[in-house]
Amino acid sequence: MIISKTPLRISFVGGGTDYKKYFEKSPGCVLGTTINQYVYVTIMPLPTFADEDFRFTYRITESVKRIKDIKHPVVKSVLMEQENLVPLNMATMANLPGRSGLGSSSSFTVGFLNAIGAWGNKKPDAMELASEAIRHERIVLKEEGGHQDQYHAAYGGFRSYRFEQNGNVVNHRVDDDEVFASLLSSCLLLVPVSGSRDSSTFARETEKSISDPFKVKILDEMTELATRTSNFLLDGTNSSDVKMQKLLEAVNLGWELKEEVSGNYPNKEMINELIRSFKKMGAKAARLCGAGGSGFILLISEIKKRDELSYRLREYNAFNVEIERSGSQIILKERDEYSLLGVVK
């Protein structure tokens, strides 16, 4: 049995500048962190006398004889490229629901690639995992969206990512400053927001916005804000308190810019009213994770005031999250005699 554990992420500033359509013309930059909420992927062998050769359990259970009959696009895409597979029983679970603006789809892709790699006794590094996840999602499956989620899931930690025009991705680890990272980690909360959300629809809208000169100018401002904030946080001469203030300002300004790019979406007034209310209750920074009017609102509390804010928000089901420093990991790897029962032709 193989089990992978891959973190979800929250983005502080820069989302949208990680779309290829944008950064192939002008470098993009995002700043965010993975959190202690995860997607798990389990792979174990099916005996050759089972009725199916491949079983995958997620919202539903798919049981098929041939890989090409699998309906889940990522699982099908990845397995189609594997060789000498034995019958497999696969499943995924997560701490939080999907389509929530926390990068869960890409966390699954990275985690599935990591688990399949481990099944074949391979150890793909973070760059390989991120690159392969992007290839499957954006090139093979032609799903629209950015590139930051795959890197966050693969590398983990509080990092900035710079997407260059030549395709290179440069990342800097902000949480090497453990005092600041610990301080920030003690101030993070998420508030669930109900409502339907289709990430693919909003990815298409973002793609369209990159053709609008006015919105491109806003994305340029977001890139500059993310870059400037990242450089400030990486400067070891700045104190943790000063860094915290700079990040709070960046998150709030970044949300204002994001709203200009996003245009109208379901629940927009409700989301902004909630954000205003949460700030009155004591949140120092707030933004919706992802896009689309539902999912989770990220809040950053005043230093040493998270428990107080959480109590005030108890009717909203707010909960604390922490920075997760690790990316996708294999947390269990056990091989047994059943893995040698046969090869699928």
In a domain? residue 342: no
Task: Say yes or no to pLDDT of 323 above 50.
Answer: yes
Is 78 a member of any domain? no
Give domain status of residue 210, yes or no: yes
Among 58-67, 155-164, 177-186, 193-202, the range scoring the smallest mean pLDDT is 193-202
Tell me whether residue 318 is in a domain. yes
pLDDT digits (tens, 9 = 90+) for 214-255: 999 999 999 999 999 999 999 999 999 999 999 999 999 999
Asked whether residue 334 is assigned to any structural domain, the reply reads no
> Virtual CA dihedral for 56, 291, 233, 220, nearest 10 degrees?
120
Q: For the residues 297-310, what does the mean pLDDT come to?
A: 97
* Three-state helix/strand/coil letters over the chain: CEEEEEEEEEEEECCCCCCHHHHCCCCEEEEEEEEEEEEEEEEEECCCCCCCCEEEECCCEEEECCHHHCCCHHHHHHHCCCCCCCCEEEEEEECCCCCCCCCHHHHHHHHHHHHHHHHCCCCCCHHHHHHHHHHHHHHHCCCCCCCHHHHHHHHCCEEEEEECCCCCEEEEEHHHCHHHHHHHHCCEEEEEECCCCCHHHHHHHHHHHCCCHHHHHHHHHHHHHHHHHHHHHHCCCCCHHHHHHHHHHHHHHHHHHHHHHHCCCCCHHHHHHHHHHHHHCCEEEEEECCCCCCEEEEEEECCCCHHHHHHHCHHHCCEECCECCCCCEEEEECCCHHHHCCCCC
**Cα 88 from Cα 47, distance rounded (Å):** 8
Q: Which pLDDT belongs to residue 290?
A: 74
In a domain, 54, yes or no: no
Which of 38-47, 57-66, 119-128, 202-211 is predicted least confidently? 202-211
Asked if residue 57 is part of any domain, the answer here is no
Give the model's confidence band at 59: pLDDT under 50 very low, under 70 low, under 90 confident, else very high: very high
Q: What is the pLDDT of residue 341?
A: 39
Averaged pLDDT for residues 306-333: 97
Question: What does pTM read for this prediction?
Answer: 0.94
pLDDT cut 70: percent of the chain above it: 93
Q: Using one digit for the tens of pLDDT, what is the confidence trace for 95-112?
A: 998 878 999 999 999 999
Count of domains observed in the chain: 1
Note down the domain range covering 35: 2-46+93-329
The encoded tokens of residue 264 equal 């109208």
In a domain, 77, yes or no: no
pLDDT at 193 over 70: yes
CATH code of residue 192: 3.30.230.120
Residue-wise pLDDT tens digits, 116-173: 999 999 999 999 999 999 999 999 999 999 999 999 999 999 999 999 999 999 999 9
- Which pLDDT tens digit goes with each residue over 268-295? 899 999 999 999 999 999 999 976 667 9
Per the prediction, the chain carries an average pLDDT of: 92
Residue-level pLDDT at 256: 95
